Structure 1
Amino acid sequence: MPRLRPVHGMFFLVIALLAFGLGTWVARTSAPPKPPQWFIDWKEKVFEPLADDKLTLNDLQDLQPGELWLTASQDGPQLHYRGRLVTDEGPWHVEAELALSEAEHASLAKATGMQPGSKDQPLSAELMSQLGNKPVSELALAPQEDLAVGRLAVSLGDPRLRLQVDGGEAWVYPETGMTLLHRDGTLQWVRVVPRDTFKAGAEAPSPQTSP
């Protein structure tokens, strides 16, 4: 058998290195993209507790600073918590609605005189502190810059439902209480509610308009 010359050995070494590099490149390009780190954190600390109907105003405030607002609706006065989340993908508008009983709605209406169409009113930090243990009934996040819906959906899998609604197409994930609305692939908002909300009827609740 002829001896392997050094030049032959170098040739095979180069081939091996090229093969290794190609394999690494293929592995990297075939690996599924990951969602933003902030979305992973919110999923654990906010979205999952809310889906379990265990998220309070204090819990949300610990992660996201914001203000409490009194808002008017056809169902009477509402309490909304609003903040601005800054991420590598750009800023997001964050808005959460607090769960109120019928008696609390009536009490707010009587105390404030709020009517449908009334202007929103900011409330004091002291009052917000007093309401810290109130449960959050709904949370919405709206990106302020263009973002592909797949950037977040990559960690959620295929939606259970795809609904054509005003403003685009809603991807519904009842098991996580989450709905993503996109228009032509551009995310409009993310909405999270307790998953039991989806069990209240035979179909998922109709996605609402942009927050």
Structure 2
Amino acid sequence: FLETTLLTLVNYPSLVATNAARMVVAANEKNTYSLNTKKPKLAEFGLRRAQGPDGGFSASKYSAIGGFDGTSNVLAGKILNINLVGTHAHAFVQTYKSLSEVEDMSASIQNSNGTLGEKVILLPLVQKYRSNMNWHITNDGELAAFISYACAFPNTFLCLIDTYDTLKVVVLLLFLDFASPLIGTILFLIKNSCFNFFVPSFSWT
């Protein structure tokens, strides 16, 4: 009886923390793709998938012990003082229909020293990249939503790119100029076909 109790108390925390630590090690390997050699950020998004009434909170706690940088679990973040991270909803993307909705939106580009630089209107910059890539079939509403989100969170931009068609989302290219450390995270969450598209196009090593 005592052995079973101890095992159930230890096994799950050990499993989550060990897996988290292994992911941290893998993400920081020398050959891992990352932008500007910045340390990749790891975040835990498992609240809706964790088993049991306490699974989500415990997963957030033990992921942090294993070295993760943040969690989407607001309660765990507040109680355990873990950085909160998150994305927008698919519904947010679907509320935008046209690029005209964001034509005046601007954001400050982050300088190499981490300070915020001058503000720029994002739409012309986005359109430049789309034109350079000859990718005019991108969904304009989706593109507008990303521009709006980037204006609100210019240095922690993290978006869902599978609302319509993952492989047609070109707006991510824009944020290479913003030196976002989260692009590697985004690419890791989507299909290998998308990853294989981006890797040959840019020197990320």
State if a TM-score over 0.5 links the two structures: no
**Structure (1 or 2) with the greater helix fraction:** 2
Please give the TM-score of this superposition, normalised by the length of structure 1. Answer: 0.26
**Structure (1 or 2) with the greater strand fraction:** 1
Please give the TM-score of this superposition, normalised by the length of structure 2. Answer: 0.27
